[in-house]
Amino acid sequence: MTTSETNVELIGTDLSADLAATALSLARRFNAGATLWVVSPQWEPHAHHVAVEFVHPVIMGKRALPSVSLVEPDPVAQCRVASRPGDVILAVASADQAQVREIMRRAPAWGTDTIWIGSGPRPEPGSANHILWVDSDDPMVPATGRFVLMYHLLWELTHVCFEHPGLLRISDDECADGGCVTCSDEGRLAEVVVAPGNPLDSALVRTAVGEEEVDATLIQDIAPDDLLLIHGGAAIARIDPDEEVR
């Protein structure tokens, strides 16, 4: 897709494929009861705009999709409190936006899928479940309408998926492929809710399947909001603040 005035390709082949895959994933989440939480610390109007689009059906009589913009000063805390396992967090932000990076790191422990829309230098691969990116260093891209075009297409394509109910069912093969967090206990990410009162107590953590208690005797000085790697009901490592989570 290009503009006749500037001959700039707005949505290239790779981004088109990314949009289609993201829309299908998002439709499946909505179909299972998810809420979409939207953050944009740098460009708050984008957060409002995305949320408004999704709660308005593309065609009159079609379903509205639950979407809420989170625009308080601490979006990490907001996402932590608001989201439930199975929800989706969408961020419109540059790759170096610290709060969004932190949300993306913690989202696996909250059990949420993530979508990251932005431009300029890309986030590291695996930083979000879906990355929709404009490969341009022009600082005006967020204000030129290209972001709006992307999330309008995402909104419309998500509704298109609902017109094909067969697409919304996730097969057992898809669930097992790649380590679905509900199907295995291999190195799951957890966020500490309540630290142990003494070295022999368990820690209450938040994981992709909800809150649970884990053995914390291998890790010293655990504190609330720490990110832990858990396996077999025990915390086996702490994730450092600067360490990327894949």
Please give the pLDDT value at position 36.
98
With a cut of 70, which residues of the chain have pLDDT below it?
A: 1-9, 171-186, 244-246
d(CA 49, CA 69): 8
Please give the pLDDT value at position 12.
84
pTM confidence score = 0.87
Please give the pLDDT value at position 171.
65
Q: What are phi and psi of 180, to 5 degrees?
A: -55, 130
Give the fold, CATH level 3, of 188-238.
SH3 type barrels. (2.30.30)
Please give the pLDDT value at position 231.
93
- 118-150 pLDDT per residue, tens: 999 999 999 999 999 998 888 888 888 889 999
Cβ contact 159:58 at 8 Å: yes
Please give the pLDDT value at position 8.
59
Q: How many CA atoms lie within 13 A of 223 on its CB side?
A: 4
Domain range annotation of the chain: 13-170, 188-238
Q: Look at residues 202, 209, 163 and name the one whose alpha carbon lies nearest to residue 24.
A: 163
Please give the pLDDT value at position 182.
45
Does 3.30.565.10 match the CATH number of domain 13-170? no
